[in-house]
Structure 1
Amino acid sequence: MSPLASPTRTGSTAKPEDETREYGVRAIERVCAVLNLLQESVDGVTLKEVADAAELPKSSAFRYLWTLEKHRYVERDLDSGLFRIGLGFLGMQSRHLEVLRERVRPSLERLRDTLDETTNLGVLDGHHVIYLEIIESRRSVRLAASRGSHDALHSTALGKAIAAHLPESRVRELLEQVGMPRRTADTITDVDDYIAELAKVRRLGYAVDNRENEPDGRCVAVPILGTRLPAAISVSAPEARFPMRDVEKTAQTLIEVAEQITLTPLPMDEPQ
């Protein structure tokens, strides 16, 4: 045998290249299955639901979730044990968003305590609004989404407040890509009507979702204009407890809170 020749190994445990590649693809598909499940859930999912979706034992599913949580693509509710989509998908802005959330949360808590209704912080994430923070009303019946969940741009007060300060061409492009599905009988589903609604939002300084996203819900929102992030805060409640006559007064309170939030520049807005 030539000294340069390699001896033939018997009983090798090395996997053929095709098998290794196939294993890697299966792992990616399982991650995608987990993320798809989380993305579709509003309230969060259990470990068993994740294991079933990914066709994995619970122990393996937990390792997947632990790794995704470590990189902030998944977050776990310590009280309920449910898993939700995380903020890691918001990319390089994630630190800015964390700073914004930390800055806004005390104001939302005070606002919730004053109005006794749910308060929200939302930012534009792709074609939708993501709820970056939610301070729920303490009432047993309340109108509240889940932190990290997404909602439509065209049917929510948060979406309108943000879209009103985007270029019209961008708003039209976003709506063209995702459509304007009818959520309720009062949802605006025509682009030109929506553009006219945004002009009204700019004139008044606040946006209203008057049973447009939920048939028995009402919400008012104002933009946070002091940062580079497309963000807004809102108050939401069942319509029976939030009559239209109270909207303007609530909006003025929100405007004052938004102005207070932006009095001190956020770190990403300070000159470098």
Structure 2
Amino acid sequence: MESTVLVKAFGILETLAHEQKAMSLAELTEVLSLNKPTIHRILQDLIGLGYVERVGGGVYVLTHKLRRLSQDEGTARLIEVGEPLLAGLHEATEETTNLGVLRQDKVAYLMVLESPQPLRRVEGPGSLDPFHSTALGRAIVSHLPEERWPRLMKGVRLRKQTANTITDKDALVETLRTAKAQGYADEWEENDVGVMCVAVPVLVDGEPLAAVSLTVPLPRIDRARERELVTRLRETAAAFGGAL
């Protein structure tokens, strides 16, 4: 690449990393103040090199290849082991499939395999969500020692993501206890309106290193299907923990 093209390419990569979401060609054009043909041409090169991926709806996200350049060994190992397992879960369910880890009081998405169905929630790898309103976060935190929960919640604003979000600390503690007892966590329209999420922790020697989840629009889910998805999640998480 010429140096000017290299600068533009890094501008695209830095923008996608900073925004932490999938972005359309029009959005990248607006942020970078470059013309569409130039950005489109560079995106095709970056896709060819494996650093950017075009996903449903014509939006672009960073791939795991780029993220591995700056990831610690443990995170890279999670993605390496998780990729085939999450791919199998994704193929079996055709729902958005996620791998997340706890970063302080937030969940960081390491992998997101988007549902092929038209109605779906899009969340790019690298995105962050509050732990208290997400199934991923609850699945992980519920399997930490309970004496750590108050420290985790201390000073953290349990913000309402939707009208349904649990923000009372006592109610959240009971929700975490329930999640630990049943071995999975769920949330119904607590992080986003119109969708639910169910998650199972990935345990190694009892320690929750991560969690896997499925995000499902409400028209495609009921309690019976949730039980079916939990079974598949348990199988994936058990294989994941065993492989680690």
Q: Which interval holds the TM-score relative to the shorter structure?
A: 0.7 to 0.9
Distance 1:110 1:226 in 2: 21
Provide Cα deviations, 1:190-221, integer angstroms capped at 9, x if missing partner. 11110110100011100001111111011100
Q: Is the 8 A contact 1:46 1:83 kept in 2?
A: no
Partner of 1:46 in structure 2? 28
Distance 1:178 1:38 in 2: 25
Q: Are 1:160 and 2:142 an aligned pair?
A: no
Q: Which amino acid aligns with 1:196?
A: E
SS at match of 1:230: strand
Which among 107, 129, 137 is matched to residue 107 of structure 2? 129
Q: Are 1:118 and 2:96 an aligned pair?
A: yes
Partner of 2:45 in structure 1? none
Identity %: 32
Partner of 1:171 in structure 2? 149
Q: Is the 8 A contact 1:47 1:82 kept in 2?
A: no
Q: Are 1:193 and 2:171 an aligned pair?
A: yes
Distance 1:81 1:210 in 2: 28
Q: Is the 8 A contact 2:20 2:125 kept in 1?
A: no
Q: Which amino acid aligns with 1:46?
A: L
Cα drift, residue 173 of structure 1 = 2.6
Distance 1:125 1:183 in 2: 19
SS at match of 2:187: strand
Which among 104, 118, 125 is matched to residue 147 of structure 1? 125
Partner of 2:52 in structure 1? 77
Cα drift, residue 76 of structure 1 = 4.9
Partner of 2:161 in structure 1? 183
Any residues of structure 2 matched to 1:9-28 within 5 Å, and which? Answer: none
Q: Which has more strand, going by share of residues? A: 2
Partner of 1:214 in structure 2? 192
Structure 2 segments unaligned to the other structure (5+ residues): 1-12, 43-49
Partner of 1:97 in structure 2? 75
Any residues of structure 2 matched to 1:180-259 within 5 Å, and which? Answer: 180-226=158-204, 230-259=209-238
Q: Is the 8 A contact 2:136 2:199 kept in 1?
A: yes
SS at match of 1:142: coil
Q: Which amino acid aligns with 1:235?
A: L
TM-score (normalised: structure 1): 0.67
SS at match of 1:237: strand
TM-score (normalised: structure 2): 0.75
Q: Is the 8 A contact 1:38 1:84 kept in 2?
A: no
Distance 1:170 1:47 in 2: 45
Cα distance change, pair 179–46 in 1 and its aligned pair in 2 (3 A): same
Q: Which amino acid aligns with 2:31?
A: E
Select the structure of larger CA radius of gyration.
1
Provide Cα deviations, 1:38-74, integer angstroms capped at 9, x if missing partner. 545422573762579xxxxx9xxx9xxxxxxxxxxxx
Q: Is the 8 A contact 1:162 1:230 kept in 2?
A: yes
Cα drift, residue 126 of structure 1 = 2.2
Cα drift, residue 167 of structure 1 = 3.0
Cα distance change, pair 35–193 in 1 and its aligned pair in 2 (3 A): farther
Provide Cα deviations, 1:122-165, integer angstroms capped at 9, x if missing partner. 00112210100011111122123111110110000001001101
Distance 1:169 1:152 in 2: 20
Q: Which amino acid aligns with 1:231?
A: A
Provide the aligned length of Structure 1 versus Structure 2. Answer: 213
Cα distance change, pair 173–110 in 1 and its aligned pair in 2 (3 A): same
Structure with the larger RCO, 1 or 2 (CA within 8 Å, 6+ apart): 2
